[in-house]
């Protein structure tokens, strides 16, 4: 039988626990009230800082006490013809930076949508950790005011991203971007001075191109670009993003790609398709040199709808590209090899001069095409079968072996007459008529070295192309 004191000893822990619960509840109410007041003040300050005419509305806003942040629902932020919406937005530990930026421990959004006059961007969800945004760019508004090159982000993920171009303006002989969808995007370690990794899965873009026909009517063709897996690790990626945002094409000393891996890249149109099974790459900056190597495998090309169906099932085809740049001189040497078994081997080398690292640091206003000059380019082609199918492609229908020989002879005779004013190309007709397991080599070495901008201008017109066929610059041989 318990004594009176015993009963008190049993009840005391329950009374203590109840008292602590009451105190905790009262404290929680007080903390929540203080947090709610702080949140209301923060939103008021944010609204006051918005540009004239911009508005922020939401269905509800409550503090996320443990995250020292806030949860907003049905958010709508509008600035002129720009509108951002999100079903929910969770901000963790927002802290203004002294220069006018903002730091967030995390930012989570469900069903975010951003709409501009000519585009709309949607996603199922977006999550970011340790995000630091710089102050808005003076004199800019909307998206342009966000300095993308100086954002810092530990990790960002976007699920089911879609971008749609709402503009219907099509330029003659121009390419029009229609839409882009990506199942998932992940960005790790983005920001100035950081090495960034970008990973995507199942990306697909739709583009269209208009071309003027001989009768001056326009013809539009659509094309689908797809990429199953993509992973890029690039030092100082934000510096490249900054140049793209500002529109400045000035040279920058961005290091080579650290690693690249992609699989199942496809380009599909109404009458043909191209597929690359895999491509890997790596690069490094060592001993005053930037070097990069890329290796691809599995090049497939199919054109079943053309008059002469073409099928290249290059399961064992390979592609290799290497490039080396010397920092002290700016000299660049590149070479590549495409090998398709039983069809052709294509090899090229290129030597160029460009600005040194010291000149890059001087921030020359020269663009890449103006500053880089071509010293020499060599192309070589080996593979009788590729030459043998040219007459069928030219005729527009399949030919048997006898017809191919006759057509190749006729084609060579026509080339001989057309190229008679250009002695540097005299070997081409003979090679087409009788490849005989020889290798065709073309060496272009302009004197003096030619700026890429000037080369591009000349190559854009028939007269300009003819001016490049000087024997002093061009050498063609078959051995």
d(CA 294, CA 48): 52
Closest CA to 148 of 254, 245, 78: 245
Sequence-separated (6 or more) residues with CB below 8 Å from residue 444:
374, 376, 377, 378, 468, 473, 474
Pairing of strands 125-133, 113-116: unpaired
d(CA 388, CA 472): 31
SS3 245: helix
Closest CA to 474 of 448, 450, 442: 442
Token code pair at residue 194: 């950081």
Check: CB of residue 243 under 8 Å from CB of residue 252.
Answer: yes
User: Domain containing 456: what range?
Assistant: 389-478
Sequence-separated (6 or more) residues with CB below 8 Å from residue 217:
none
Q: Is residue 318 part of a domain?
A: no
**Main-chain dihedrals φ then ψ at residue 125, nearest 5 degrees:** -160, 155
pLDDT of residue 463: 83
Q: Is residue 447 part of a domain?
A: yes
Task: Report cis status (omega within 30 of 0) of the bond before 460.
Answer: no
pLDDT of residue 96: 78
Mean pLDDT in runs of 10 for the chain (479 residues)?
A: 47 44 40 57 69 83 69 89 92 80 89 92 96 79 76 97 86 81 98 97 92 67 94 94 72 83 94 92 93 95 71 88 94 95 92 86 64 94 82 69 80 86 87 89 93 87 83 89
Q: Is residue 191 part of a domain?
A: no
Check: CB of residue 103 under 8 Å from CB of residue 95.
Answer: yes
Token code pair at residue 324: 């080396």
d(CA 255, CA 327): 11
Straight-line distance from the first to the last Cα atom of the chain, in angstroms, rounded to the nearest whole number: 115
Instruction: Please state, as a whole number, how many other Cβ atoms lie within 10 Å of the Cβ of residue 191.
Output: 19
Closest CA to 364 of 355, 373, 372, 353: 355
Sequence-separated (6 or more) residues with CB below 8 Å from residue 278:
261, 262, 263, 264, 296, 297, 298
Q: Is residue 394 part of a domain?
A: yes
Pairing of strands 95-96, 102-110: antiparallel
CA 188 vs CA 109, 157, 193, 258, 447: distances in Å: 18, 9, 13, 14, 46
Sequence-separated (6 or more) residues with CB below 8 Å from residue 128:
104, 106, 107, 108, 153, 155, 156, 157
pLDDT of residue 97: 79
d(CA 441, CA 32): 78
d(CA 418, CA 433): 15
Check: CB of residue 218 under 8 Å from CB of residue 172.
Answer: yes
Token code pair at residue 29: 């109410």
pLDDT of residue 10: 44
Closest CA to 58 of 41, 34, 74: 74
DSSP line for 425-475: GTHHHHHHH--TT-EEEEEE--SS-EEHHHHHHHHTSHHHHHHTT-TTTEE
d(CA 67, CA 39): 13
Check residue 98 and report its DSSP letter: T
d(CA 36, CA 65): 9
Q: Is residue 43 part of a domain?
A: no
Q: Is residue 124 part of a domain?
A: no
Total tally of structural domains belonging to the chain: 1
> Where does residue 436 rank: exposed (0-12), middle (13-18), buried (19+ CB within 10 A)?
exposed
Q: What is the 3-state secondary structure (H, E, C) of 285-324?
A: EECCEEEEEEEEEEEEEEECCCCCCEEEEEEEEEEEEEEE
Q: Residue 136: CA atoms inside 13 Å, Cβ hemisphere, count?
A: 11
d(CA 204, CA 183): 9
pLDDT of residue 4: 47
Q: Is residue 12 part of a domain?
A: no
pLDDT of residue 16: 40
Q: Is residue 416 part of a domain?
A: yes
Beta-bridge partners for 295:
280, 320
């Amino acid at each position: 039988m318990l004594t009176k004191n015993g009963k008190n000893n049993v009840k005391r822990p329950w009374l203590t626990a109840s008292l602590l619960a009451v105190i905790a509840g009262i404290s929680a109410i007080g903390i929540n009230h203080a947090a709610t007041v702080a949140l209301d003040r923060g939103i008021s300050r944010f609204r006051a800082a918005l540009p004239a005419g911009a508005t922020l509305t939401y269905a509800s806003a409550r503090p996320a006490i443990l995250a020292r942040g806030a949860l907003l629902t049905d958010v709508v932020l509008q600035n002129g013809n720009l509108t951002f919406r999100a079903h929910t937005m969770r901000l963790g530990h927002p802290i203004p930076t002294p220069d006018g930026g903002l730091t967030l421990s995390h930012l989570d959004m469900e069903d975010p949508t951003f709409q501009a006059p000519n585009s709309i961007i949607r996603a199922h969800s977006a999550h970011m950790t340790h995000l630091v945004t710089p102050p808005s760019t003076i004199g800019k508004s909307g998206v342009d005011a966000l300095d993308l090159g100086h954002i810092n982000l530990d990790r960002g993920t976007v699920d089911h991203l879609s971008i749609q171009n709402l503009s219907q303006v099509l330029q003659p002989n121009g390419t029009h971007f229609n839409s882009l969808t990506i199942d998932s995007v992940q960005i790790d370690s983005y920001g100035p001075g950081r090495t960034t990794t970008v990973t995507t899965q199942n990306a697909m873009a739709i583009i269209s191109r208009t071309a003027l026909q001989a009768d001056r009517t326009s013809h539009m063709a659509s094309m689908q670009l797809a990429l199953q897996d993509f992973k890029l690790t690039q030092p100082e990626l934000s510096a490249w993003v900054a140049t793209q945002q500002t529109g400045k094409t000035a040279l920058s000393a961005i290091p080579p790609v650290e690693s690249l891996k992609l699989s199942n890249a496809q380009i599909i149109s109404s009458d043909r398709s191209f597929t690359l099974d895999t491509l890997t790459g790596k690069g490094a900056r060592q001993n005053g040199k930037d070097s990069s190597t890329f290796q691809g495998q599995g090049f497939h090309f199919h054109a079943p709808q053309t008059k002469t169906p073409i099928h290249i099932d290059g399961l064992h085809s390979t592609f290799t590209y290497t490039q080396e740049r010397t920092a002290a001189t700016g000299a660049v040497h590149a070479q590549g090899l495409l090998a398709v078994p039983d069809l052709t081997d294509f090899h090229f080398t290129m030597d160029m001069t460009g600005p040194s690292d010291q000149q890059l640091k001087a921030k020359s206003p020269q663009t890449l095409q103006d500053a880089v000059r071509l010293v020499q380019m060599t192309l070589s082609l080996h593979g009788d079968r590729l030459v043998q199918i040219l007459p069928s492609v030219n005729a527009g229908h399949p030919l048997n072996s006898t017809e191919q020989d006759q057509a190749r002879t006729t084609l060579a005779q026509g080339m001989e007459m057309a190229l008679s004013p250009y002695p540097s190309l005299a070997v081409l007709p003979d090679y087409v008529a009788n490849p005989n397991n020889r290798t065709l080599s073309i060496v272009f070495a302009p004197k003096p070295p030619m700026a890429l901008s000037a080369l591009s201008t000349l190559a854009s017109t028939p007269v300009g192309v003819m001016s490049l066929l000087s024997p002093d610059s061009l050498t063609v041989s078959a051995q």
